[in-house]
Structures are given as C-alpha cells and as structure tokens.
C-alpha cells in the first residue's frame, strides 16, 4: 500500500531552525501509541533526549472527544485542550499535528527523523524494532487473531501516520519483542502441540519495552552492566506483569498469549483455573465474549472491591473497609508468589525493581510484597521506601543481599531510543544505543 500524500500543517518558525543556518541532521522522533479510541503522542529531541511536547486524544469517534496537548519546550507552557467530536484516528493525528505546528514543531519539519509506533503484538517474528514496510504491516495484520483488541488500533495509527508523512521512516516497537528470548520451557503451555502450533498458542508476554528499559536502568543503578545482573521486574500499573531477566535477557514473564495471565491487575483476573471458563459457560450460561469481558474488564481489583485505583483502595483500607483490605491481600499474595517463583527460575537474584503507576507510587504495596522474604535476601527500609522521587532509587537496607529498587519506567523514551537507533544505524556517530 502506498499512502496518498496529504498535507500536514506547516510549522511556525522553529527556534533552532534559522533560515541562514546549515541544514540540521534529523534528530526528532515522534512516538505514537494508538489505542482503539485514543492516541497518545510524544515528540522527543534525541540529541539530549528531551521532551518537546506530549499529548493525548481520547474518546475518538464520540461526541465528547478531547485533545490535551502539552508543550514542553522552554520551560513548558499550560496544556491546551480541544473538545468536541474527533471522528477517527486520521482526524486525531491531524489535530495533534496542528498543535505541534503551533509550537513550531510541525510534522513537516526536516528535523523529524522518524515516527516510532508502539505495537502490542509482534508474535515470534519480531524480536527487535522494525522499519515498517507493506510486508511488515501485513504480518502485524496476520497477528490480529492473537491480539484482537490491540493490533487493529496500532495498524490504524501506522496507516494514518504513513499518510501524513509518506516519506518518513516509520518504526514498529513491539511489546512482545523483549520476551522472545524466553526458553521454550517457559514459553510453551502444556497442551497438545499440534493444536498449539496450528493456532500460535504460546506465552508471548507484554510490557516488554518497559521490562527492557527498567531492567537496564536497574543494572545502571547498581553500577553494573545488564549482562552482570539478574533482575525481577514488577511492572505494576493498571495492567501488571512480572519478568525474570537474566544477564539482560528475559527468561520468564507473567503475561501469556494475551495480557490476561499472571498478576492480579486493575480489572483483569490474572491467573485462574481455565476450567472456570467452562464452568461459567455450562453453569452460568455465559458466552465466550461475556466471559472475556468478565475476566478482562470486571475482575482483578475492580471485581474484588469495586475500585481499581490503588490510592482509593488504600484510603478505604485506612477507613476500615474489609472488602478493600481483602482485595489488597489477594493482590499482594499473587505478587509474592511470583517473586518467589522468579527467584527459583533465576537461581540468583541481584535486584527486584518496582515500576509503573502502582510500583512507583504505592509504598504500602512495595512494603507488603517484600515483607517476610528475608530468607530470600529481600527487605525494605521503611524510611527509604517512603521517599517520593522521580529518580531510580534503592529502598532496601544495606545489609540485604538483594537490592530492592524503585525504577520509574519510560516506555516513550525507550520507543524513541530504539526507533532513532534503527534509523541512524550506519552512522558511527550515533549518540544512542539499542538493546535489540
């Protein structure tokens, strides 16, 4: 498919793009994360990895669509908001491009090097960031049956961006890529091999961009290279997953064929006896789609206590709410089980890293998850744990054999780094590196 060129809003004069200056090497990357009804974007300057602007278009296709654009250059400015129907992804991206152009950061700029797309499912084929060709796009389409909620939205975002800048490299960075190093023993389900292979049923894992970034940053925090350390990464956001990373390579992760497996999440059940699904069908008369919605959207913390925001749950616990307290205990129990299991998988653990909304902010979750694990060499220092900071930091006491850390994730930066590294490959002076 060759997208028809379409106009992009012209940039206002750029502060670092004077007419007399020599042409600047392209150094900006636009990162796009397209969901079914939303698009998140960030524009980064890869010379110093600074953020130039970020934005979110939500409720695409509804009357109540909203775009919030935040300029981040020169000390930043107040976010700008647009409300009113934005019909589709094409309109959403054009509106974002207009906002960027108003800041002198238009997508027509020669300073833009590439667009990096978060793509949720790359199957077994994609173990590294990949420049998107027609053939690559077809392969991402072929994976729709294993990622029906995510890949179609990602494809729409890619097509829209291609139409906007057909001349520009577009790069797919896959959520599954970091996990393709998992050994077969961890990646295979114990089901009939022919059936599994015919339908590509295996454990793929997700949040890979975050697990890659956080495991590397954790090694940095310890003053080591990724090859030297074994890390358990706990990505605890609304979606949540754990991974065991040995010497920089993922050897086990908690999400599987889909993001439903593993930890208790905001609205997903995580691990469950598969027979529960037959039971719901046979006894409760529920359809496959209804069970899907139940387990993905109405379970986890929200199913257990009606709330999925950890701040609200903690407040309810402080007020003596027993339902919230039990939901918290179930969440922590599962987390602890995974820490123990991954300790066994790794054999030696150098660090446990907490990340994402809950992992970075909820000190009581970190404290409870590590409590009682002294035999595994793990402990949390209460005063270090109570520090709030956007920086990677240790929260374990000096005597502990295993470092426990809080390492803020940055999926957009990782996507931008991987995208820029790929499009700059061959340039010996490239200031960036890539894991893949």
Contact positions toward ligand ADP, by CB under 6 A?
Answer: 237-239, 266, 308-311, 356-358, 361-362
Q: Do the annotations mark residue 281 as ligand-binding?
A: no
Q: Do the annotations mark residue 361 as ligand-binding?
A: yes
Hey, what are 358's tokens? 């809950």
Q: How far is the CB of 186 from ligand ADP (least distance, A)?
A: 23
Rank residues 300 and 377 by Cβ distance to ligand ADP and give the closer one.
300
Q: Do the annotations mark residue 309 as ligand-binding?
A: yes
Rank residues 239 and 270 by Cβ distance to ligand ADP and give the closer one.
239
Catalytic-labelled residue, pool 175, 307, 410, 435: 175
Q: How far is the CB of 405 from ligand ADP (least distance, A)?
A: 17
Q: How far is the CB of 271 from ligand ADP (least distance, A)?
A: 18
Which residues, including other chains, have CB under 8 Å from residue 384's CB and lie 6 or more apart? 393, 394, 395, 396, 397
**Residue 412 and residue 46 in contact, taking contact as beta carbons nearer than 8 Å:** no
Q: How far is the CB of 307 from ligand ADP (least distance, A)?
A: 9
Q: Do the annotations mark residue 340 as ligand-binding?
A: no
Residue in the shown chain whose Cβ atom is closest to ligand ADP = 357
Instruction: Give dist(CA 405, CA 68) in Å, integer.
Output: 32
Rank residues 99 and 360 by Cβ distance to ligand ADP and give the closer one.
360
For the question of residue 192 being annotated catalytic, the response is: no
Q: How far is the CB of 266 from ligand ADP (least distance, A)?
A: 5
Q: How far is the CB of 366 from ligand ADP (least distance, A)?
A: 10
Rank residues 100 and 264 by Cβ distance to ligand ADP and give the closer one.
264
Q: Do the annotations mark residue 236 as ligand-binding?
A: yes
Q: Do the annotations mark residue 357 as ligand-binding?
A: yes
Q: Are strands 28-34 and 112-119 parallel, antiparallel or unpaired?
A: parallel
Q: Do the annotations mark residue 182 as ligand-binding?
A: no
Rank residues 311 and 401 by Cβ distance to ligand ADP and give the closer one.
311
Rank residues 252 and 411 by Cβ distance to ligand ADP and give the closer one.
411
**Binding site, annotated residues:** 33, 40, 118, 235-239, 309-311, 357-361, 411
**Binding site, annotated residues for substrate:** 118
- Which active-site residues does the annotation give? 175
**Binding site, annotated residues for ATP:** 40, 235-239, 309-311, 357-361
């Amino acid at each position: 498919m060759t997208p028809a060129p379409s106009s992009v809003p012209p940039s206002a004069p750029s502060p670092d793009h004077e007419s007399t200056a020599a042409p600047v090497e392209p150094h900006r990357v636009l990162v796009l994360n397209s969901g079914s009804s939303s698009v998140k974007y960030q524009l980064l300057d890869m010379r110093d990895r600074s953020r130039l602007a970020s934005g979110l278009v939500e409720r695409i296709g509804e009357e109540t669509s909203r775009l919030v654009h935040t300029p981040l250059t020169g000390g930043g400015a107040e976010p700008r908001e647009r409300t009113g129907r934005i019909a589709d992804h094409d309109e959403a991206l054009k509106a974002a491009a207009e906002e960027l152009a108003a800041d002198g950061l238009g997508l027509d700029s020669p300073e833009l090097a590439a667009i990096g797309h978060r793509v949720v499912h790359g199957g077994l084929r994609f173990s590294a960031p990949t420049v998107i060709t027609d053939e690559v796009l077809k392969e991402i389409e072929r994976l729709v049956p294993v990622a029906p909620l995510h890949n179609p939205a990602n494809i729409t975002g890619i097509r829209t961006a291609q139409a906007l800048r057909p001349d520009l490299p577009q790069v797919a960075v896959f959520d599954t890529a970091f996990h393709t190093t998992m050994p077969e023993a961890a990646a295979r389900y114990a089901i009939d091999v022919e059936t599994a292979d015919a339908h590509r049923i295996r454990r793929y894992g997700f949040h890979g961009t975050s697990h890659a970034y956080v495991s590397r940053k954790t090694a940095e925090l310890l003053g080591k290279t990724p090859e030297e350390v074994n890390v358990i990464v706990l990505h605890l956001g609304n979606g949540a997953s754990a991974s065991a990373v040995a010497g920089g390579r993922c050897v086990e992760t908690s999400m599987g064929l889909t993001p439903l497996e593993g930890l208790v999440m905001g609205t997903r059940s995580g691990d469950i006896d598969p027979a529960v699904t037959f039971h719901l069908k046979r006894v409760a008369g529920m359809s496959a789609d209804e069970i899907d919605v139940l387990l993905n959207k109405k379970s986890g913390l929200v199913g257990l206590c009606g709330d999925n925001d950890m701040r609200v749950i903690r407040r309810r616990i402080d007020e003596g709410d027993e339902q919230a307290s039990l939901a918290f205990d179930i969440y922590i129990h599962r987390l602890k089980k995974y820490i123990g299991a991954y300790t066994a998988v790794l054999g030696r653990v150098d660090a446990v890293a907490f990340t994402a909304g809950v992992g970075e902010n909820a000190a009581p979750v970190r404290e409870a998850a590590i409590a009682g694990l002294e035999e595994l060499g793990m402990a949390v220092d209460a005063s270090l744990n109570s520090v709030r900071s956007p920086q990677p930091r240790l929260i374990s006491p000096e005597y502990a054999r295993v470092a426990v850390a809080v390492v803020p994730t940055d999926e957009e930066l990782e996507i931008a780094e991987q995208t820029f590294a790929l499009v700059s490959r061959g340039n010996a002076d490239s200031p960036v590196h890539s894991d893949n």
